[in-house]
Structure 1
Amino acid sequence: MSVLRRAAPAAGLARAKVNLALHITGQRSDGYHLLESLVVFPQIGDRLSIEASETLELLVEGPFAHDLEGPTEDNLVLKAAALFAEAAGTGPLKLKMTLSKRLPVASGIGGGSSDAATALRLLEDHSGIYLDDDRLHGLALQLGADVPVCLWAQPQLMRGIGDDVSPAPQMPKCGMVLVNPKVGVSTPAVFKALKTRSNPALPPLPESFETLSDLTGMLALCRNDLQQPAIEICPAIGEILDTLGAEDDIVFARMSGSGATVFGLCEAGREMALERSLRTRHPDWWIASGRLA
């Protein structure tokens, strides 16, 4: 069932999906891994806009546009448009969709998934047709297991294969720096290198984290079970972790997803100075900063 509402401007930020903790808790018979993850969405991401056009087209630009593999018609943004048109009953869409690819591709921060999720929300805004939450979740899941969590850019818990999402504790005010060595890491290779697939679940979480210290204290009890396998494949990840660990203003650092992006948490307001300093010393790395949403 859909609800018709007044359309809003169709442009937005497809925020990076950062796994503050990622526990691999098992593996299904079909090969999919089971997980529990605490996810946040900083003010860092790709940009997507939608406007009326004579046909449906996708223009991809930005610093990482050339890293996208395959034909444009295989992009998840266009697949999201096709699924939405069918579910909303709009008929063929006539839109120009412009994706500014600012996040590294296949970097463990859900860029493609967030692009697809943002496309679904922007298509709702542009058309004025809003699907109910269950139907929107179903469309997102058809696009990939990581897409549903990206529909709402707020702290969330992921379980199952990533499709079971629920609100996470409220986060404290803090900044985040993301660093990627511009080295591709194969997710299947990282999982293949994972020695133990049935690991302990996340510890019980509070209703909210009042301070950054509260959050980092909890994260110290958690893990990213893919971090060590990824370092074995891509030693540059370990170098980034060492670099962020030596920064006085970084209070916690860990790899996100299957890599190779590493996040560093800091007090709110210090993230931009950290980004500038790191850029000066490591010009070959991709570095971005922002506040937690």
Structure 2
Amino acid sequence: MSASMLACPAPAKLNLFLHVTGRRADGYHLLQSAFQLIDRCDTLDFRVRDDGQILRTNDVTGVPAETDLVIRAARLLREAAGRPELGADISVNKNLPMGGGLGGGSSDAATTFLVLNHLWQTGMSRSRLMELGLQLGADIPFFLFGRNAFAEGVGETLSPLETANCWFVVIEPGVFVPTSIIFSSNQLTRDSKVVRITDFPDATNQIDSGFGRNDLEMVATRHFPEIAEAVKWLSKFGNARMTGSGACVFCAFKQEDEADEVLKQMPSRWKSWKAKAMQEHPLAHLTSA
């Protein structure tokens, strides 16, 4: 078997809001969120092998190959397919910061599921891939879902959501936020009122509505003043907030030139960039429902 797919995108996500509504008996937190795909991506290269070896062919700082979600996803897919002879060489080209709340590792894993399901011709449906992805991480099913979504449960219950076609300015405050610090904090709000998908503003009003908040932001900013500084600075231009469990901070703009103007004023101590909203995952076509 000889096949390859190169420069496969693994897009970032933003949480347009993130509410913690409760906690299950097993300790997992119940969430509600709006997941937004953006066109800032990692990229991955895949080359099929027929000797059963699954190898990451490059180093990723801070991520040993054996614990990389990409390798774990490939092995899980092969196991589920019952095809021990399947293998792949995988190169992971990181562009998204780790510990940034952008879902980079989860997106890399989802792209691995999508591409190898296609190259290995295992024929698994999107829903089956989402089941496998949930075994590795709560954000992975979203990236396999194929489009923006209203999320509930631990993040795995997804409904399609139309979002604004806008631009985002994103700041990387330069700190790594361990998720465990946020979710174990006594200061974390765990009883936000449950909302319905119909409560979320339609695409024409999302930028101006300032709907919701990120319940994790208060904890993160107390532990990491760099995040608080980024939120305060970006809030001069609109409704700025942290994404996920941090550390990245974002603000939405209706026009690209508005985003450009903000970037021109950005303090040099931060890495920052703009990204365009996407409605669908660029690899959604690789699998059926």
Fold conserved (TM > 0.5)?
yes
Q: Distance in 2 between matches of 1:147 and 1:153?
A: 11
Instruction: Report the counterpart of residue 186 of structure 1 in structure 2.
Output: 178
Q: Distance in 1 between matches of 2:36 and 2:160?
A: 11
Partner of 2:34, secondary structure, is: strand
Aligned to 1:24: 20
- Please give the alpha-carbon distance, in whole angstroms, between the structure 2 residues aligned to 1:89 and 1:11: 27
Change (3 A) 1:206 1:181: same
How large is the Cα RMSD of the aligned pairs?
2.3
How do residues 49-60 of structure 1 correspond to structure 2 at under 5 angstroms?
Answer: 49-53=45-49, 55-60=53-58
What is the correspondence of 1:63-78 to structure 2 with a 5 Å cutoff? 65-66=60-61, 68-69=62-63, 71-78=64-71
Cα 1:210–1:35, aligned 2, differ >3 Å: closer, same or farther? closer
In the other structure, the counterpart of 1:33 is 29
Q: Which residue does 1:261 correspond to in 2?
A: 248
CA positional deviation for 1:277: 1.9
1-side partners of 2:188 and 2:67: how far apart? 33
1:120 corresponds to which of 110, 113, 125: 113
Deviations 1:138-176 (A, max 9, x none): 1111111111011134210111111212212x1222111
| Cα distance in structure 2, aligned partners of 1:26 and 1:206 | 19
> Are 2:220 and 1:222 equivalent residues in the alignment?
no
State the Cα deviation string for residues 229-265 of structure 1 (Å, max 9, x = none).
1110111111111221223xxx331110111111111
2:189 to 160, 184, 196: 196
For the residue of structure 1 that corresponds to 2:57, the secondary structure is strand
Would the aligned equivalents of 2:130 and 2:145 in 1 still touch at CA under 8 Å? no
Indicate the SS of the match to 1:144.
Answer: coil
**How much has 1:59 moved relative to structure 2?**
2.9
Q: Distance in 2 between matches of 1:256 and 1:230?
A: 11
Match of 2:155 among 148, 154, 162: 162
Contact 2:23–2:190, Cα closer than 8 Å, also in 1: yes
Give 1:40's aligned amino acid: Q
Q: Report sequence identity in percent.
A: 34
Is 1:43 matched with 2:39? yes
Q: Counterpart in 2 of 1:237?
A: 227
Map of 1:3 onto structure 2? none
Contact 1:194 1:226 in 2 (8 A): no
- Contact kept in structure 2, 1:173 and 1:268, CA below 8 Å: no
Instruction: Give 1:97 deviation, angstroms.
Output: 0.6
Distance in 1, matches of 2:111 and 2:168, equals 21
The aligned residue for residue 129 of structure 1 is 122
* d(CA) in 2 for partners of 1:271, 1:83: 44
- Structure 2 distance, partners of 1:97, 1:289, is 28
Q: Alpha carbons of 1:86 and 1:198: their partners in 2 closer, same or farther (altered >3 Å)?
A: same
In structure 1, what is the Cα distance between the partners aligned to 2:94 and 2:119? 21
Matched, 1:292 2:272: no
Unmatched 5+ stretches in structure 2: 279-289
- The aligned amino acid for 2:34 is L
The residue matched to 1:44 in structure 2 has which SS? strand
| Change beyond 3 A, Cα 1:18–1:210 | closer
TM-score by length of 2: 0.86
- Relative to structure 1, the CA distance from residue 210 to residue 39 in structure 2 (aligned partners, 3 Å threshold; closer, same or farther) is closer
CA contact (8 A) 1:24 1:35 kept: yes
Check 1:15–1:271 CA distance in 2 against 1; reply closer, same or farther (3 A cut): farther
Q: How many Å separate the matches in 2 of 1:237 and 1:151?
A: 29
CA distance in 1, matches of 2:97, 2:189: 28
